[in-house]
Amino acid sequence: MSNNLSELSGRKGLEKNLFEELGVLARETGTPNRKDLDQLADEFLMGKANLYGTTSFYDFLRPENKGKKIYVCNGSSCLTAGTQTQLKENLLQHYNANEIGEMCCLGRCHENGAFHTNGHNYSGAAINHIQDVKNGSYPVQESYFVGSKGKQILTQAFIGIDAYYKTLETALNLGSNRILDELKISGLRGRGGAGFPISFKLAAAKASPGNTKFIVCNADEGDPGAYSDRYLLEHQIHSVLLGMIIGGFAMGANWGVLYIRAEYPESITIANNAIQEIREKGFIGTNILGSGFDFDFKVISAQGAYICGEETALLSSIEGQRPEVRVRPPYPTQHGLFNKPTVVNNVETLANIPFVIDHGGEAFAAIGKDKSTGTKLVSLDGFFNRPGIYEVEMGTPLKVVIEELGQGFKSPVKAMHIGGPLGGLVPVSKINDLSVDFETFASQHFLLGHASIVCLPHDYPIIDYLAHLFQFTAHESCGKCFPCRLGSTRGYELISGAINKDAKIDPVLFDDLITTMEIGSLCALGGGLPLPIRNALQYFKEELTPYFQA
């Protein structure tokens, strides 16, 4: 990461954003042409090699993307559901092979068979109507169950803009210090995986010197199996926007940036429409409600890179740089977007802020268990009898989520990958030992993360799933640190060799490999992958033993 490049990218502010301009150049053909790319580099005073390095990284900007007309989901949920091989065969009857690309998780994990074309996502039975999809006559639709157990915060029915944004007036009257106090009392922690207190981030950014500050919503929900953030963006968008406005006021930021996955096109449209609605109502803009507070939004469409879920890589992405993980310190709250103090939080975290301000920090802290306060959204995939999004109080037994809310499994399942590809691989025998909270999962050597659940059926080989995880990490690595970049590739080679060439894996070498990734990687991509690998080695030892040296 170059401080100079950050400054150059920020010269035009957010109104004309370098990364966004790259996406515009790629709309017609799938990748920017060299002449336009060179002109953009000159306009932003960037090196041509820098911009080429950026475009060649993203799934939907790189030259290999040229000419693609349809994309098949290759996320973990669709993989274990076994729907995608037949999906591709059906698509080959309507498209040439070179017109078919891949996207990683379209958030249609509740019914699988997912694909993307003409700027929209489809799943389930849509493949049976592919000709109508091609000509635009098939409706963009889906249906999944939304339920709750206990207190509802994020799944309540929306009461209308005017009534809902009365909380904004409350926040402006409270003042920034009181807001920070209430958030600290609430114990609200990051819902994206790390579980870091949001009050600490906001307070640190407020204390950092500077007139320009940013609050960024990390809506790059790349964890295969998770679609809770997509639910919030598409069905509870105003909780997210209001949370960002209040958070921005508390830390002294005048800009909120929503960085939303390109794989979620409907989310991007809905967010932009909602922003326009509240602008017309006077809830954003200059001198909001006569308070002297100015605030506005910028929606950035991502371009396909899992690593951008890591906050520093996300900031580099917005700047139009190659999204490599930054070494910390300095932290984003000190030097973030365009080198300005920045707070980055995920969608669900920000969506909880209005409740805290409306009801008080103590009311939020009273929900949940110990240091895991409030509620948590859980995503259930297509292996459940009632897949969908469920809001549960922290501390709710996992058994209740699976058997009562999800109504059990459709077919026999041997493991659940909970919390994304870097989460724990949980055998069904551990269901009774876990509850939905940070501490219980950590004590059992798992990770709650996004609380997404991807099921592995009884007939799905664990060794194949481990190969998938290593391959996923190798593809998505930003490449900055050796342990992740090389370790994931070497891990995939070892697993693939054991599957295809009967090359037994040296267990000592393998343990050294994942330990090096665990302690040496710059971020949780390389550092987190060893967790499900170790879980598999512990709980599915008998199944994996034939692939390892004695």
Give dist(CA 436, CA 17) in Å, integer.
Answer: 39
Over 80: is that where the pLDDT of 454 sits? Answer: yes
Same domain, 127 and 175: no
Peptide bond into 329 cis (omega under 30): yes
Q: Is residue 28 a part of any domain in this protein?
A: no
Same domain, 324 and 416: no
Same domain, 437 and 530: no
Give dist(CA 236, CA 233) in Å, integer.
Answer: 6
* Residue 384: closest CA among 360, 400, 405: 405
Q: Given this model, what pLDDT does residue 4 score?
A: 79
Residue type, 454: V
Show the domain range for 266: 153-365
Same domain, 396 and 510: no
Q: Is residue 54 a part of any domain in this protein?
A: no
Same domain, 415 and 312: no
For residue 366, what are the contacts with CB-CB under 8 A and spacing of at least 6? 373
Q: Is residue 2 a part of any domain in this protein?
A: no
Domain final position from 390, 425, 457 = 457
Taking only the tens place, the pLDDT of each residue in 157-178 is 999 999 999 999 999 999 999 9
Q: Is residue 33 a part of any domain in this protein?
A: no
Q: What is the pTM of this model?
A: 0.95
Band of pLDDT at residue 63, cut at 50, 70 and 90 = confident
CATH number at residue 520: 1.20.1440.230
Same domain, 93 and 180: no
Q: Is residue 43 a part of any domain in this protein?
A: no
Separation of CA 83 from chain center: 23
Domain final position from 345, 365, 385 = 365
* Residue 419: closest CA among 378, 383, 369: 378
Same domain, 255 and 310: yes
Give dist(CA 340, CA 425) in Å, integer.
Answer: 38
Q: Is residue 167 a part of any domain in this protein?
A: yes
CATH number at residue 112: 3.40.30.10
Same domain, 416 and 342: no
Taking only the tens place, the pLDDT of each residue in 382-423 is 999 999 999 999 999 999 999 999 999 999 999 999 998 999
Separation of CA 374 from chain center: 20
Taking only the tens place, the pLDDT of each residue in 326-364 is 988 999 999 999 999 999 999 999 999 999 999 999 999
Over 90: is that where the pLDDT of 1 sits? Answer: no
User: What is the share, in percent, of the chain residues with pLDDT greater than 90?
Assistant: 85
Band of pLDDT at residue 2, cut at 50, 70 and 90 = low
Same domain, 197 and 326: yes
Domain total in the chain: 4
Peptide bond into 63 cis (omega under 30): no
Domain final position from 111, 143, 175 = 143
Same domain, 298 and 331: yes
Give dist(CA 372, CA 367) in Å, integer.
Answer: 9
Same domain, 392 and 411: yes
Band of pLDDT at residue 194, cut at 50, 70 and 90 = confident
Work out the average pLDDT over 55-76.
89
Same domain, 482 and 443: no
